[in-house]
Copies of this chain bind each other. A is one copy, B any other.
């Protein structure tokens, strides 16, 4: 639980301590009920990026913290849990109305880290030449392997002004949204068509076998540079037919043909499952190859309730053709949570939807996930769109 596989990923122990710390640093100070900080040094160790909350341990060095131990971090979590339970049962109405929005934020924050915990463990295991299986029989993995897919259908939408975004959270857990989804605003969208489902592994394999990774004209310039610098030949956790790793050590994993590593270990490529572990560059190149394009995040959201749309939530995050810019009129949260989203609004691309590893109920039609365009360790795939001329 202690190892960090790359600067962008965090150890399991760190996720546990950091989500505890978030409640300790952001929620509990507002409760005013005599909370005692568990350990003065933990704020330094487990603050992620909140400049206003003080100096912190460098992100790339999170894996060096063999102390505090897992047992100590579990005791920390229990201490924070008990304090939160105390606050929930004791808070008067005035305190509660101030506290509830932060408590909900803390829970939503933890849900985000639950998915990151999965993606980071899978990344760590992907660095091990044994390619061990983490959760071979988890139901979430099964969602990734549906029945064979019919051909995708194009669903057309008429031009017009649409309302995009979400009203600010009001503190109830029913109506939560992050600040980056706000405020709701009007957008004019030209007519377009969008696919009813995600691109599958089988379709993506066609792109590979048609020379997609060798055809510069399909790629954005930065994408082509990434392909060459990193020698990308397939999505992040795919094993080419000549990759010896599948057969390394004594496992029951398949050893021939295209295979895919994931939470479930190494499995034969499932042609009908949604492709994941794509960078934005790969998603955009695939769309180009398919004589289509990625939808903008507005187009994605506008199509959310359209009849016939499938796999919008719960299968794979979907790269859009929208950079992660602030919405018109965007205002960050106030106080400690001010740094939650707004300061990351440059150099990243919006993903919409959610994945099989996103906690139930966490995502919604207006949810804006974001990652740098080269990121490949998320459960990130794509859905196609195209212009109507």
Residues on A facing B (Cβ under 8 Å)? 2-3, 5, 39-41, 44-45, 49, 51-52, 57, 61, 63-68, 124-125, 127-130, 132, 161, 185-190, 216-217, 219-224, 248-250, 280-281, 284, 296, 321-326, 328-329, 338-339, 343-347, 349, 373, 387
Contacts and interface: CB of A to CB of B under 8 A. Distances in A.
10 contacts: A39-B249, A41-B130, A44-B129, A61-B127, A220-B344, A221-B344, A223-B346, A224-B343, A280-B346, A329-B387
A321 B325 contact: yes
Contacts of A339: 217, 221
Contacts of A221: 49, 339, 343-344
A250 B41 CA distance: 9
A129 B44 CA distance: 9
A136 to B, nearest CB: 14
Given A127-B61, A221-B344, A216 B44 contact: no
B128 A220 contact: no
A217 B63 contact: no
A64 B124 contact: yes
B323 A325 contact: yes
Contacts of A2: 2-3
Nearest to A281: B346
A346 B346 CA distance: 11
B128 A65 contact: yes
A132 B49 contact: no
A51 to B, nearest CB: 4
Contacts of A373: 346-347
Contact of A190 (B40, B67, B185, B324): B185
